[in-house]
Amino acid sequence: MEHESAFIIRNPAQIINKLSLLLKNKRLITVYFGDKKDSFVSTLLDVDKKDKILIFDGCKEELAEQLLSSPKIICNTEHLGAKVVFNLTDLVPINYQSKLAFTAPMPEMMRWIEHREFFRLRAPYATPSHCVLTIKDKEPVKLKLYDISLRGFSMLNTSEEISELMIPEAHFEKIKLELEGVGECVVSFEVRNKCVINSDKANSLEKIGCKFTRLAPSIEDTIQRYMLQVEREILKKKEMGTVLF
């Protein structure tokens, strides 16, 4: 596993985007303070992108004084399986819609550890998704996705010509992924490995593993929506006893 620092977000725009997700989905946030001996459950009330402050729900009045004097305030929550941690400083009590609330500057960093960073979800066979490769002077080639995560994906290939192109450490830019039921997104990736998964058959079927080299937040959201959709379909079919992959 990569060092945990790989999950630390320092980009202010990305931090605002993540906090906005927590606000939109009304995630419950546990606020720890006083050497983590005291805590209360809160929610975000507003994320002010212009002034770069956030507003969150207050606590009982008897805890407020301790909270405001605490040298360290840590917020823990989860979002779609991701573990989220960030610190707050310089809290200011305010009256928000006739209730106690607090404002704080946007955190300078955030730890956001995705369940899907490493978990590879198998793409459904019955409703396939594709990676669309464009080869010079030829029609685009659709390769069926085998599995996908927020770190990368693998696809299936039977073409010798494609295999010769998809060698480990080869980089591909602006390649389209067609995610069934969600839409299209354009990604860049590096080929990491290849293996034949049906060596006992005449027509070789190759699985090509790839790692995303960069993902915009909007593309990340699209992939997450696709994975959630597939997970729901799996759960539904399990309940019906008809999981077909």
Element (H, E) at 23: helix 12-24
pLDDT of residue 20: 95
Tokens of 222: 């699209």
Using DSSP's 3-state secondary structure scheme, residue 124 falls into coil
- The share of the chain scoring above pLDDT 70, in percent, equals 89
Per-residue pLDDT reduced to its tens digit, 193-232: 888 887 666 677 899 999 999 888 889 889 989 988 888 8
Collapse the DSSP code of 83 into the 3-class scheme (helix H, G, I; strand E, B; otherwise coil) and give the result: strand
Q: In the chain, what are the domains?
A: 8-113 (2.30.110.10), 120-239 (2.40.10.220)
Q: What is the pTM of this model?
A: 0.54
Apex 7 CA angle, 3 and 13, nearest 5: 150
Q: Which residue has the higher pLDDT, 236 or 157?
A: 157
Which of 86, 91, 90 minimizes the C-alpha distance to 30?
A: 86
Asked if the model's pLDDT at residue 168 lies above 60, the reply is yes
| Per-residue pLDDT reduced to its tens digit, 3-15 | 445 578 999 999 9
3-class DSSP state for residue 96?
strand
Residue 39, pLDDT score = 85
Q: What is the pLDDT of residues 27-77, one digit of tens each?
A: 999 898 986 578 899 999 999 999 999 999 999 888 898 899 998 899 999
